[in-house]
Amino acid sequence: MLSALLGPMLVFITGIAVPLGLLLPADTMSYPKMLAFAQNWIGKGFIFAIIVLFLWHAAHRLFHSLHDIGIHAGTSAKLICYGLAMAATIIAAYALLAVGF
């Protein structure tokens, strides 16, 4: 639910408002500033939380969408959907740690 609430706001801010200079100056999302944000513990936590929320939200929606269209794969579908979300979560954690501090 949180990803459904935060997603449109993040798309608007990062994709429309800041590049057009509506809310903040256009250089707010420059590479050096975003790298500094990703190298901070709070920034890493925020980025990780957003990625994980979207991954698990998508896995949950895909699993229940399979059930809605008549594919009742049971445990195998659950393992695939949620297993991919877990693998991507681990990859995201590794990538954020690889950025450095």
Would residue 6 count as lying in a domain?
no
Rounded CA separation 51/72 (Å): 28
pLDDT tens for 48-86 read: 999 999 999 999 999 999 888 888 878 888 899 999 999
Structure tokens at 81: 């959907």
Would residue 64 count as lying in a domain?
yes
pLDDT tens for 90-99 read: 999 999 999 8
Q: What are phi and psi of 41, to 5 degrees?
A: -60, -40
Would residue 65 count as lying in a domain?
yes
Q: For 58, how many CA atoms within 13 A lie in the half-sphere containing its CB?
A: 14
Nearest in space to 61 (alpha carbons), one of 85, 90, 91, 92: 85
**Residue 51 near residue 92, CB atoms below 8 Å:** yes
Would residue 92 count as lying in a domain?
yes
Would residue 8 count as lying in a domain?
no
Would residue 23 count as lying in a domain?
no
Range of the domain at 71: 31-99
Would residue 16 count as lying in a domain?
no
**Residue 82 near residue 63, CB atoms below 8 Å:** yes
Would residue 7 count as lying in a domain?
no
